[in-house]
Amino acid sequence: MTEIVLGVGASHCTLMNTHWEQTVHKEEAQRFRDALAEARDELAAAAPDTVVIIGSNHFRGFWLDLIPSFTIGVGECVASGESGTPKGPQPVDVPLSRHLANSLVEGGRFDAAFSARLQIDHGQSHAIQYLLDGLDVEIVPIVVNVFAHPLPALARCADLGAAVREAVLGFEGDRRVAVIASGGLSHRLPWPDWRDPQGEDEEFMVRAWLDGRDNWQDYDARRREIIRAASAAINPEFDDEFLTLLEKGESRSLTRYSTEQLEEVAGNGAQEIRTWLAMAAALDNVPARRLSYEVIPEWLTGMGVAVLDPATRSDA
């Protein structure tokens, strides 16, 4: 029998790798890093065979020539390796990933895209680096479009998580499965709406997103300069509201936000909470336990970690 044994939501930021020594809020950064390690230990204790990683794309695995709303990796999976994150082939649970893709499509729930040769970036590999460190597991990567408008509605992402749960539990093999959401919380990236770039930097970014399929590394140095020059726009009140709802098992109520409303309140980077909504639904919205929340302006992001343990519901 296949079961879902744990869920984890965690912010990601490659500045952890590239600019740790330059981080001013070191105590906050260390507390966040310690929370990642605690979540990693809880994953190890849950002993999953497979980890479904729901993450975002940062225009190193997908480009504007083709942007699906949801993509499932069903074969080879290669990590880009940008900014000190893991690089190269990643182990995929092919039978489960193909069952998942088939179930979503044939069940009429989602016409999700699939890739037999998926390239992922730190939207998934940051979680592999910190949450799966030393764990002998395979993955099922799911990429959610959160940066190239039009974006899938928040409610649609929660529905995806519910469909993933149904498909995983219906798998006839014997699997212990964990689900990780990678991304968020509130932050604003100096990234344009690709449909209407304003100024030289935004036009450069859109060109990188359109032309970078075969040479994305050529654009990376200037991309990093643009990001490092940005000012932080973190909304701790929004982040606390979101994490509190997650703790109550009520994160779906956040689907009341439209894409535009969410960006206005919490920044374009907060669109990544779609991954958390999907993960929470895959755990049947069991109440979460918050491990950490830190405001780290140098990383531009409200950094949070939470764990969802289905055993807490059965013990209640």
How many domains does the chain fold into?
Answer: 1
User: Which residues are CB-contacts of 228 (< 8 A; sequence separation ≥ 6)?
Assistant: 19
pLDDT digits (tens, 9 = 90+) for 153-192: 999 999 999 999 999 999 998 899 999 999 999 999 988 8
Rounded CA-CA distance 117/137 in Å is 19
Could you tell me what percent of the chain has a pLDDT over 70? 99
Average pLDDT score, the chain: 95
Which amino acid would we find at residue 93? D
pLDDT digits (tens, 9 = 90+) for 34-82: 999 999 999 999 999 999 999 999 998 899 999 999 999 999 999 999 9
Cβ neighbours, 10 Å, residue 134? 6
Q: Is residue 284 part of a domain?
A: yes
CA-based nearest residue to 16, from 5, 26, 7: 26
Q: How confident is the model at residue 214 (pLDDT cuts 50, 70, 90)?
A: confident
- Mean pLDDT of the region 126-145: 98
Which amino acid would we find at residue 139? I
Instruction: Tell me the pairing of strands 138-144 and 50-56.
Output: parallel
Q: Is residue 213 part of a domain?
A: no
Rounded CA-CA distance 45/134 in Å is 13
Q: Is residue 212 part of a domain?
A: no
Rounded CA-CA distance 136/73 in Å is 19
What are the two backbone dihedrals, phi and then psi, of residue 199, each rounded to the nearest 5 degrees?
90, 170
Q: What is the pLDDT of residue 108?
A: 86
- Mean pLDDT of the region 259-286: 97
Q: Is residue 167 part of a domain?
A: yes
CA-based nearest residue to 112, from 74, 144, 71, 149: 71
Q: What is the pLDDT of residue 173?
A: 83
Rounded CA-CA distance 47/36 in Å is 17
For residue 70, how many C-alpha atoms fall within 13 Å in the half-sphere facing its CB?
27
Going 301 to 83 to 34 to 56, the CA torsion angle's sign is positive
Least confident of 116-130, 134-148, 195-209: 195-209
Domain span at residue 146? 3-189+230-315
Q: How confident is the model at residue 316 (pLDDT cuts 50, 70, 90)?
A: very low
CA-based nearest residue to 58, from 79, 42, 28, 74: 79
The three-state secondary structure class of 190 is coil
Q: Is residue 210 part of a domain?
A: no
Q: Is residue 205 part of a domain?
A: no
Q: How confident is the model at residue 232 (pLDDT cuts 50, 70, 90)?
A: confident
Q: Is residue 108 part of a domain?
A: yes
Which carries the bigger pLDDT value, residue 182 or residue 221?
182
* Residue reference for tokens 């995983």: 168
| Helix-helix angle 236-247:259-266, to 10 degrees | 120
For residue 99, how many C-alpha atoms fall within 13 Å in the half-sphere facing its CB?
19
Residue 315 confidence (pLDDT) above 80: no
The three-state secondary structure class of 76 is strand
Q: What is the pLDDT of residue 314?
A: 58
Contact between 61 and 80 under an 8 Å Cβ cutoff? The reply is yes
Rounded CA-CA distance 168/284 in Å is 12
Q: What is the pLDDT of residue 251?
A: 96
Contact between 280 and 255 under an 8 Å Cβ cutoff? The reply is no
Q: Is residue 242 part of a domain?
A: yes
CATH number, residue 261: 3.40.830.10
* Residue reference for tokens 């060109």: 207
Q: What is the pLDDT of residue 292?
A: 98
Q: What is the pLDDT of residue 227?
A: 86
Going 165 to 156 to 66 to 7, the CA torsion angle's sign is negative
Distances from the Cα of 186 to the Cα of 10, 45, 74, 239, 243, angstroms: 12, 30, 31, 6, 11
Residue 16 confidence (pLDDT) above 80: yes
Q: What is the pLDDT of residue 313?
A: 75
DSSP tag of 213: T
- Mean pLDDT of the region 99-128: 95
User: Which residues are CB-contacts of 203 (< 8 A; sequence separation ≥ 6)?
Assistant: 197
